[in-house]
Amino acid sequence: MKIHSPILLILFILVLAFTACNPAQPTAIPATPTSLAKINVCYSAASGPQIVTWYAFEKGLFEKFGLEVNLVPIFAGTQAATALISGDMDICQLTGVSVANAVVAGEDLLMIGGFFNTFPFTLYVTPEIQSANDLRGKSLGISRPGSATDTAIRVALRHLGLDPDNDVTILPIGSQAENIAAMQAGQIVGTLAAPPEAEEAIELGYHGMLDIASLSIPYQHTGIATTRRYIEANRQNVFNFMKAVTEAIALMKEDPQGFNTVMAKYMLLDETKDKASLDASYPFLMNQVNKIPYPTIPGMKSILDDLVNEIPEAANVKPEDTVDLTIVQELESSGFIDSLYK
């Protein structure tokens, strides 16, 4: 190429020099941020057995497995189940009785995980109650009719040789803390408690009459539920959720301090002042929580058998119709669970 104008020649040389000193840089392509799937998750009580999902949330395990969890308290199993059925919630941590009731009513609900597959309670009574016979004609407190505490206290009374419907009065009071307050007020002589509330009962002079947990009665207490339609449309989300909570179980077994911190936050306890209660919660719950969190078919059968007394249609529901074992089966067969304990 010939450049006839001296001025143009000078400009051309300058451009070449500038280009040589400042080679063109490739245009940077911004990295696409990792996309997290947004899901709505609820938990149905402020009680110790709810710790698994709390811990997974606080330790960032949901994000680790690609989920952005909106964690919502819905303090009633029936209301939590309704939120799942309506689609307001995608996954909930609740007890099996709420799922069983929904399935008997023809609703689309399934237990996909089971953390505590027996009753995690002890029956605490006031000092003057020294024998089962002393309970006759007295009042005992539960959370609400049809709840896990309702079933558990009936199991306890039958074990003690009493008729729950005729020998005592069962009052729906509310939470464990509210039941203990009712004992202090003289409204009831006994209630069920698990750590950390159990320590408060002991400090107030109440004594454990029956450790129901030690009976190892199959019962689907706290676990994870969702709907068939959500599994079908979002199976990977469900799988990732169960990976997160399963890893939470493994980590908690080596992290008593983290357990205490999370429990204190969600139970509105003081980590220092309530240390004894928190410390008591740790071995009690960690000894019961399932390393491989299958929901229990025998435990769901126990619930359905109990429901038949009030809802005859429950006899037509098989316990297998209330659970989906495939998510945990996949976690187990893939080696994921074993890898958490190496």
3-state secondary structure at position 309: coil
Q: CB count, 10 Å around CB of 131?
A: 9
- For residue range 115-126, what is the model confidence (pLDDT) as tens digits? 999 998 999 999
Residue intervals of the chain classified under CATH 3.40.190.10 are 39-118+219-339, 122-214
Residue 34 banded pLDDT, cuts 50, 70, 90: low
Percent of the chain with pLDDT over 70: 90
3-state secondary structure of 41: strand
Backbone angles phi, psi at 141, to 5 degrees: -110, 145
> What pLDDT was estimated at residue 309?
83
* pLDDT beyond 50 at 18: no
User: Beta strands of 151-301 (E only): which ranges?
Assistant: 169-172, 190-193, 207-211, 222-226
Does the 122-214 domain belong in CATH 3.40.190.290? no
Task: Give the global pTM.
Answer: 0.83
Tell me the residue length of the chain. Answer: 342
User: Could you tell me which residues come within 8 angstroms of residue 170 by beta carbon, excluding any fewer than 6 positions away?
Assistant: 139, 140, 141, 142, 150, 153, 154, 164
Return the half-sphere exposure (C-beta side, CA atoms, 13 A cut-off) of residue 319. Answer: 19
Confidence of residue 199 (pLDDT cuts 50, 70, 90): confident
Give which of 259, 284, 285, 287 is closest to 271, Cα–Cα: 259
- Per residue in 272-290, pLDDT (tens digit) is 999 999 999 999 999 999 9
Q: What share of the chain is helix, strand, coil (3-state, %, to 5)?
A: 50, 15, 35
Q: Which fold has domain 39-118+219-339?
A: D-Maltodextrin-Binding Protein; domain 2 (3.40.190)
Identify the pLDDT of residue 301: 95
CA 264 – CA 262 distance, rounded (Å) = 5
Write down the pLDDT at residue 15. 33
What are the tens digits of pLDDT across the range 219-273? 999 999 999 999 999 999 999 999 999 999 999 999 999 999 999 999 999 999 9
Q: Tokens in use for 261?
A: 């911190």
Task: Calculate mean pLDDT across residues 44-65.
Answer: 95
Element (H, E) at 73: strand 67-73
CB atoms within 10 A of CB 318: 12
